[in-house]
Amino acid sequence: MLLQELRTAVLEANLELVKRGLVLYTFGNASGIDREQGLVVIKPSGVDYDDLRPEHMVVTDLNGKIVDGRLKPSSDLDTHTLLYREFPGIGAVVHTHSEYATSFAQAGLPIPPLGTTHADYFCGPIPVTPSLTDEAIGGRYVHETGLAIVNHFRQQGIDPLAVPAVLVAGHAPFCWGKDPHAAAHNAVVLEAVARMAYRTLTLAPGHPGVSRALLDCHYFRKHGTRATYGQTS
């Protein structure tokens, strides 16, 4: 079976979204990429998670052409492949409609860094894209969703490796990571951060968030060449 290890990892990432309560029914999807071969493995469209097996995963090239698999790929495939093309440092993408993160997306609001839990994973606010135009929605909608993400990160000077998540206005979050496990992990943390942010802003409207110094302290102790968190080999 082509890319058996990656298929298994992508399946496990999809099942993790269910386990953590981030998707309902057949909502959501996860994918991963083999950079050496330029091939993407993604969840099939509309298949119940209880029925998914590694062989059900669909393999495509970076332009979305099916290379292996009998099922239709996720309807969000064009967003995934565009992110892989434009963000070459990422190895997996996850899309959910998790409740709190999606609430911020529907409100068109970024998630501000209000505490160190946020800072441990995201080196700044979780950005929200501008709303898509009617023309974009009526055209290649899924492709335009990816363009909105990429253009916003570039225009705002956001490093996608330092902030591995985005809220698509009126829609829902996308997250990414070095591999399917990491992308799913980031999606779980994003939902927890969104939930805490909602509650914090309910208790203290207008909360200014953490200082830049505290944000950087927590982010860089886990990330980068000078990271100190965890065990050394």
| Domain of residue 98, CATH code | 3.40.225.10
Range of the domain at 108: 4-220
In the sheet with 29-34, reading across from the earlier edge strand, the strands are: 66-68, 58-61, 39-42, 29-34, 92-95, 173-177, 165-167
Domain-embedded: residue 232:
no
pTM given for the model: 0.95
Domain-embedded: residue 233:
no
Domain-embedded: residue 226:
no
Count of structural domains within the chain: 1
Task: Compute the distance between CA of residue 52 and CA of residue 44 in angstroms, rounded to an integer.
Answer: 9
Give the torsion through C-alpha atoms of 70, 74, 79, 80, to 10 deg. -70
Residues 25-52 have a mean pLDDT of 94
Domain-embedded: residue 229:
no
Domain-embedded: residue 129:
yes
Domain-embedded: residue 227:
no
Among 11, 3, 13, 9, smallest CA distance to 175 is for: 13
Q: Are 156 and 127 in contact (CB under 8 A)?
A: yes
Report pLDDT digits (tens) over 45-101. 999 899 999 999 999 999 999 999 999 999 999 999 999 999 999 999 999 999 999
Catalytic residues: 120, 229
Report pLDDT digits (tens) over 197-208. 999 999 999 999
What angle separates helix 77-86 from helix 141-156, to the nearest 10 degrees?
Answer: 30
| pLDDT of 233 strictly over 70 | no
